[in-house]
Chain A
Amino acid sequence: MIRMLSGIETEYGLAIDGRGAEDQIEDAAALVRGFPDKRCFVGWDYFQESPRTDLRGFKKKKLSIDPVDAKFDSGRRPLASEEVRSDRILVNGARFYNDHGHPEYATPECWSLHELMLADKAGELVTVGVASAYEAQSGRRTRIYKNNLDGAGSSYGTHDSCLVPREVGFERLYQALTPLLATRWVLCGSGSVSPEDGRFLMSQRAGVFEDKASVDTLYRRPLFNTRDEPHADRSRWARLHVIAVDANLIGEATMRRVGLMRLAVRLAMADEAPEWELKDPCRAGQMVSSSVDQDINVDLKGRKTASAHQILESYLARAEEHLELSEEERWVIDSCRHLLEIRFSEFSEFARGVDWAAKLQILREFQEEEGIEWTHPMIASLNLAYHLIDDEEGLFPALVSLGRIEGEPDPSDVLSRIERPGELTRASARAAAVQRLSSDLLSASWGRVVLRSPSGPLSIELPPDIAYDERLFSVESTEEFADIVQECTR
């Protein structure tokens, strides 16, 4: 079995009564700094961060920034980057910080899709828990949305990462991933009401991509992001950093989304990826996203076309033909194929596993019940309320309670992932360091921890491709921790 280390970063939407986008960086920093679990560790180590380094072998001088956001900041005292980010490392090994005014939860790294889904769901609880603490302290109603778009067209990201052997290289990854990223909105989009013309779209993010490939993420975003920031030994590893992602509320949709990405990576590694050459990948993604009622054809190079379903099915078929599949990968293929087959014939069943369809269905129900036009402001507000992380007011929890969503996890399984990661990936070593050695922990990041020892600071690398040991959660000293990690690397 191939172990593929993966993670999800989610920038949450933040709405605080009486505050606006111009206050958001300050507010999100205050919210993160008020993290209520005092066992968390403050001391993120930025040494492996290189957001301007491009997978194609160069470094961009400066990343593009959104000119609208720049206006928000004019006349304000610039804060130091670390002060703004306010990083916390949590007892489960996750990272929680302020990213451009959004509370961001980066899951502990996981091997299995199911664990990653649980880790992502745990992030929802953590983030809304921090918001509750902030609300109690500030007296201002604070809402958290797991979405990627506001009504004015500002977008913020959910990113999926996957560690890949460096020798796979940009070209193979780009060719293998791009057709998938342009079309998987059919299965993984979370739905939006277009800020431009009010149409319902499958995706929140498909409309924000303007470039085929680049290192940018804030402005003129690319469908294929080339950020080369492996958070591991650069000579051996690259990290695929996928920004063409909608945040999913449906847990199984999250698993399908990451599962499809990982199948495409494995096909790239085997040189067996489907060979679709889209004429304009960004445009293709937008066409797919806007084709709610039909399986749209997208343009290929050479005056040919292919439908979104054809392209998606080709990944499933290639994976079956060329890869030795794990049980989870088998599930990804079977469930994706099933959903594609029933999309038009059994829409209610399709909507049990696909966020955009679940949302569209309830918007249509409301429209019918209330007899309102699609252009009524309630439609856009309901579109937003689907993403509200609040068990009492959010629309998604009501759908789950009604049994209209397939396969949501047991809440106790999610809660347990707030306390500890579910697998012995390198996240478990980070978590153990935070839990057991907090008084000696000097800094931590994805790839290493630095601990105080009698002979001075001891930097301990956390290789990404090994299984760590349960005993780390009972260590008493830096030396013991270092010895166990050393044993794991043999």
Chain B
Amino acid sequence: MIQADRTVRRQDPQPARKSGDEDGPQKPDITKPKSSNELMRRMKNVDPDQAKKYRQRSGQ
């Protein structure tokens, strides 16, 4: 099995459905709202030299 843990968005575990709960949502809401601070935090964590260090061979 492929180890895909790093890239799959973290999900809350699916809640067990109880009898008589058929009117509830069909799927859990897996997209937790995050503040835009999360994006800014990631951006600030980027190594400023990453692009300079990133050197690739030409492909097709």
Residues of A within 8 A of B40 (CB): 365-366, 369
**A interface bracket (residues with beta carbon within 8 Å of B):** 35 or more
Residues of B within 8 A of A20 (CB): 55
A21 in contact (CB, < 8 A): yes
Given known pairs A154-B55, A362-B39, A369-B40, the reply for A381 and B33 (CB within 8 Å) is: no
Residues of A within 8 A of B27 (CB): 410
Tell me, in angstroms, the Cα distance from A242 to B22 when the chains sit together: 48
Given known pairs A156-B58, A157-B59, the reply for A383 and B8 (CB within 8 Å) is: no
Residue among B3, B7, B10, B57 making CB contact with A156, cutoff 8 Å? B57
Tell me, in angstroms, the Cα distance from A409 to B30 when the chains sit together: 12
Q: How does the 8 Å CB contact mask read for B1-15 relative to A, with 1 for contact and 0 for none?
A: 111111111110000
A351 in contact (CB, < 8 A): no
Tell me, in angstroms, the Cα distance from A187 to B60 when the chains sit together: 22
The closest CB in chain A to the CB of B59 belongs to: A156
Whether the pair B59, A402 counts as a contact (CB closer than 8 A) is no
Whether the pair B60, A395 counts as a contact (CB closer than 8 A) is no
Residues of B within 8 A of A150 (CB): 54-56
Residue among A72, A102, A383 making CB contact with B51, cutoff 8 Å? A383
Whether the pair A24, B57 counts as a contact (CB closer than 8 A) is yes
Given known pairs A366-B40, A415-B4, the reply for A99 and B59 (CB within 8 Å) is: yes
The closest CB in chain A to the CB of B38 belongs to: A398
B19 in contact (CB, < 8 A): no
Tell me, in angstroms, the Cα distance from A227 to B55 when the chains sit together: 28
B19 → A minimal CB distance (Å): 24
A479 in contact (CB, < 8 A): no
Whether the pair A402, B43 counts as a contact (CB closer than 8 A) is no
**B interface bracket (residues with beta carbon within 8 Å of A):** 35 or more
Given known pairs A101-B59, A369-B40, A398-B42, the reply for A129 and B50 (CB within 8 Å) is: no
Residues of B within 8 A of A93 (CB): none
A473 → B minimal CB distance (Å): 18
B6 → A minimal CB distance (Å): 6
A159 → B minimal CB distance (Å): 7
Whether the pair B58, A154 counts as a contact (CB closer than 8 A) is yes
Tell me, in angstroms, the Cα distance from A420 to B49 when the chains sit together: 40
Which of B27, B51, B55, B57 gathers the greatest number of chain A CB atoms within 10 Å? B57
Whether the pair A377, B45 counts as a contact (CB closer than 8 A) is no
The count of A-to-B residue pairs whose CB atoms sit within 8 angstroms is 166
If over half of B's interface residues share one DSSP class (helix, strand or loop), that class is named, otherwise mixed; here it is loop
The closest CB in chain A to the CB of B40 belongs to: A369
Whether the pair B48, A377 counts as a contact (CB closer than 8 A) is yes
Tell me, in angstroms, the Cα distance from A101 to B40 when the chains sit together: 32
Given known pairs A132-B3, A398-B38, the reply for A391 and B9 (CB within 8 Å) is: yes
Whether the pair B7, A391 counts as a contact (CB closer than 8 A) is yes
Residues of A within 8 A of B10 (CB): 391
Whether the pair A391, B60 counts as a contact (CB closer than 8 A) is no
Residue among A14, A391, A394, A399 making CB contact with B8, cutoff 8 Å? A391
A70 → B minimal CB distance (Å): 10
24 contacts between A and B (CB under 8 A): A21-B56, A66-B58, A69-B58, A72-B57, A125-B7, A126-B2, A126-B4, A129-B3, A132-B5, A132-B6, A133-B3, A145-B54, A156-B56, A218-B60, A366-B40, A381-B47, A382-B46, A385-B43, A390-B7, A392-B6, A393-B42, A395-B42, A398-B39, A410-B30
Residues of chain A having any CB pair with chain B under 8 Å: 11, 13-15, 20-21, 24-25, 36-37, 66, 68-69, 72, 99-102, 124-126, 128-130, 132-133, 145, 150-152, 154-157, 159, 193, 217-219, 243, 362, 365-366, 369-370, 376-378, 380-385, 389-395, 397-403, 410-411, 415, 418
Extra 7 A-B pairs, beta carbons < 8 Å, given A377-B49, A381-B46: A14-B56, A381-B51, A384-B50, A385-B46, A390-B7, A395-B39, A403-B31
- Nearest 9 interchain pairs by C-beta: A156-B59, A380-B51, A129-B2, A217-B60, A101-B57, A66-B58, A150-B56, A381-B50, A157-B60
